[in-house]
Structure 1
Amino acid sequence: MVWDVSFTCDICGKKKGEANHWWMVMLGDVPCFDEGQPSQRFTLLPWNLNESRNHDMYHLCGQNCAMAAMERFMTHGTIESDLAAHSRR
């Protein structure tokens, strides 16, 4: 049986096609020994079909959205926009 899975960029909403140069991001906890330091990490990975199905992965359609995701993470500690965060609740 073949699974038909489609992917959408978590920043701009673009649908993934065959020739796109996509990336993935995983946010994870890290042990922090210094008070006031961020407790999460931002891991940017090249697209991998098998890993892309991991529910913890964010999907990014290219360099611009990867940079936007990093900026959001550095500013807010998440890559979700305020609008997206409220719609997931």
Structure 2
Amino acid sequence: MPEALSRDEVAHLADLARIDLSEAELDHLAPQLSVILESVASIQGVAGDDVPPSSNPLPLTNVFREDVVEDCLTPEQALSGAPAQEDQRFAVPRILGDEQ
């Protein structure tokens, strides 16, 4: 079983994740994160060496069509309905200021 996370370890993890936690939140989250780590540790022991790792228990098949190159729109056709365009591109209003 993994050791219980200390309050300082939770504070360090929160700092790494850039999450500002209050003292009460640190006290509340430390035992909860320890329970999560214990659960993950118990799951890791379920699969034996004879079970191959997989992302899905069912066999998957690709249902997509073949990627075939076809004729595409010209820039003029693609921009024909655009309300504004600039240098063969859609012109849109700026949503982020200079501070971003």
Which interval holds the TM-score relative to the shorter structure? under 0.3
Task: Name which structure has the greater RCO, CA cutoff 8 Å, separation 6+.
Answer: 1
Larger Rg: 2
TM-score (structure 2 length as normaliser): 0.21
Could you say which structure has the higher helix fraction? 2
TM-score (structure 1 length as normaliser): 0.22
Could you say which structure has the higher strand fraction? 1
